[in-house]
Chain A
Amino acid sequence: MVRQYPIAGCSQTVMYSLDFQLELNDFTTVSPDDLTAALGFQIYNDLKNGNSSIFNSQFNIYYYALEEESAEFQPNYDPNLKVFYLMKNDDVYIPVLHTKAIDFRIVKSLHKKLKKRCVLNVMKIIFMFLTTLFPISNIFLAVVDNTANILYYQMSEGLSENQSTKTAVK
């Protein structure tokens, strides 16, 4: 959704900025149900707000880049896997309600699907020289509990030895 509005505190030469923020309706039209849409929107706001907090210590012009960056979030629904996920560049976020079971098969299938997409993009580069190579995505589970707290977990296939574990600070 694109809207225009003045940014307070900016000079007169910068009167307007494009707002690429997603709205709840953007999730509703993609998600299979309202609950999933609400979860996705909540995660989007959490991740977006996490990024936009950087603006407070940066120049005003950086605001535009962050907004543009947050606009790269794309809600997706895979009817074959029956899974809704939020995608941004090479990262995938799957919203999970704390009362709903997590199916490792879906995560595994999504891994495979994203790997295939990478291969297809390579073919496009070879023959069309137009598509950017799409790296193998990182998949994150975003577990939402009944207090609206969100925990993120990176899912890796196999016995991953590159995980850097650290103490939770929250």
Chain B
Amino acid sequence: MYLTLLNGTGFVFNVDDYMELRSKHRIMGAPVGTANTKGWSPNQSTLPVELSKFETQLLLDENIAKLVDKSKDLKAKPTAEKLEECKADFESRLLGQEEALKTEKLRETERYMDKILTGKRKKLLKQGKNELAAALTDKDVLLEMSVNFKFDRQNALLEVHCEHPTDHSAQIVTGPIVHTNSLKYRVFKDLWRRGKYVTSGDAFGADFLVYPGDPMIYHASHIVILHEQPVIKPLELIAKVRLSVIVNKSCVFAYEMENNEEEIHYQTVAWCNLGK
């Protein structure tokens, strides 16, 4: 599996790769492409999928994927021959939509055939063409639609940015793209190795969100806050725990000991209604 380096992180352009990452390796990423002519919408996002830097680094460390840089090849000025070939391919893909769109139009016509026939017959009756109205059939309508169909490029569908269709060269990216010794990356990796689904916790004022299963199906069960030292101010603890109560998630503090041991420690803190 290859990830493409863009903006300092890995992107996935192959739909099968993305499904494998999500279902097999619990890597979520974020679809950042769009097929909407009005612009990008989070509800209609599609390929490519942008992985976080931690996700990208994890896949490299676990030898699940390789990271490649295509900028040298794709940014190079194309030859005249290659440019013509590219234009021809684009034209071919564009015209390929004509037949598909025509087929869809005919299918839609069949779907609403009763209403169309009723309308056309009514119009013919008003014009005094009773015989034509009586003789009108489904085939006549479909034939008319087929003959009169014209493909307008403004109605063409936008192409989803998938894998580059033609052969091209790329360079393998070596070396880390994040500080692999940082506490945040090590916590992310540790949680992932524990079988958790891990996403960014920015929206909840935390470092990570932990899900028991795919975020598309489950709500997050924990918010994780990192601490470089195993000491915390009470007011900070109170604020974080109260936030977790409001969003109905468990609050977990991740820290490491000061004796340079590599083990990550987790402390779950939950508010209790004791006393008066």
Contact = CB atoms under 8 A, between A and B. Distances in A.
B267 A161 contact: no
Contacts of A101: 231-234
Given A143-B234, A156-B270, 11 more contacts: A47-B274, A47-B275, A101-B232, A101-B233, A102-B231, A104-B255, A141-B237, A143-B238, A158-B268, A164-B270, A165-B244
Contacts of A158: 266, 268
Interface stretch (A3-11, A32-40, A145-153): A145-153
Contacts of B231: 101-104
Contact of A152 (B248, B257, B275): B275
A70 to B, nearest CB: 13
Interface of A: 43, 46-47, 49-50, 53, 96-105, 107-108, 140-141, 143, 150-161, 163-170
A96 B234 contact: yes
Give the top 10 A-B pairs by smallest Cβ distance, nearest first: A160-B268, A46-B275, A156-B268, A163-B270, A152-B274, A104-B230, A152-B272, A163-B250, A50-B275, A154-B270
B266 to A, nearest CB: 5
Given A108-B267, A165-B248, A153 B241 contact: yes
Contact of A157 (B227, B250, B266, B273): B266
Interface of B: 194, 196, 210, 212, 221-222, 227, 230-235, 237-238, 241-242, 244-246, 248-250, 252-253, 255, 257, 265-276
Given A159-B210, A167-B245, A104 B274 contact: no
B78 to A, nearest CB: 52
Nearest to A153: B269
B171 to A, nearest CB: 40
B252 A165 contact: no
A154 B272 contact: yes
A35 to B, nearest CB: 15
Contacts of B245: 165-168
Contacts of B272: 140, 152-154
Contacts of A153: 237, 241, 269-272
B160 to A, nearest CB: 37
B271 A46 contact: no
Contacts of A143: 234, 237-238
Given A50-B274, A50-B275, A166-B245, A161 B238 contact: no
Contact of A159 (B230, B248, B255, B268): B268
Contact of B271 (A97, A100, A102, A168): A168
Nearest to B253: A104
Contacts of B249: 165
Given A166-B245, A168-B242, A53 B268 contact: no
Nearest to B242: A168
B244 to A, nearest CB: 7
A163 B234 CA distance: 20
A151 B238 contact: yes
A109 to B, nearest CB: 11
14 contacts: A43-B275, A46-B275, A46-B276, A53-B276, A102-B237, A104-B267, A108-B265, A152-B272, A154-B270, A155-B268, A155-B269, A161-B250, A165-B249, A165-B250
